[in-house]
Amino acid sequence: MNALKNKVQLIGHLGQDPEIVNLDNGNKVAKFSIATSDSYKNTQGEKVEDTQWHNVVAWGKTAEIVENYLNKGKQVAIEGKLTHRSYETKEGDKRYVTEVRCNELLMLGK
């Protein structure tokens, strides 16, 4: 049951080409966002489309796969865990970020 404490599974489309960062230690990180969509009918019976955007980060070999095979519009299934971090801007404002740290990636579609 411990593996289920912080587990996220999403299927969505990339909103833009991934950003690849090569670190000084030789490691690689890929950052990208995916959109997931859901639809429902409101109280008036009208169909409402709800799209959510998720920031995803992949490291190491997974980042290499992202770099070589993924681009804007590609449909993917990812599995990972939610992470939260904060940073300070140059102006001194504190910003908070929630990301999915990708452990597994499956390319879908064509």
Q: What is the pLDDT of residue 63?
A: 95
Higher-pLDDT residue of 92 and 2 is: 92
16-52 residue pLDDT tens: 999 999 999 989 999 999 999 999 998 999 999 999 9
Instruction: Tell me which residue of 3, 1, 27, 2 sits closest to 103, measured CA to CA.
Output: 3
3: pLDDT strictly greater than 80? no
Q: Would you call 34 exposed, middle or buried from its count of C-beta atoms within 10 A (0-12, 13-18, 19+)? A: buried
Return the pLDDT at 1: 61
Quick one: fold of 2-107?
Answer: OB fold (Dihydrolipoamide Acetyltransferase, E2P) (2.40.50)
What is the value of pTM for the model shown?
Answer: 0.84
How many CA atoms, within 13 angstroms, populate the side-chain half-sphere of residue 1? Answer: 0
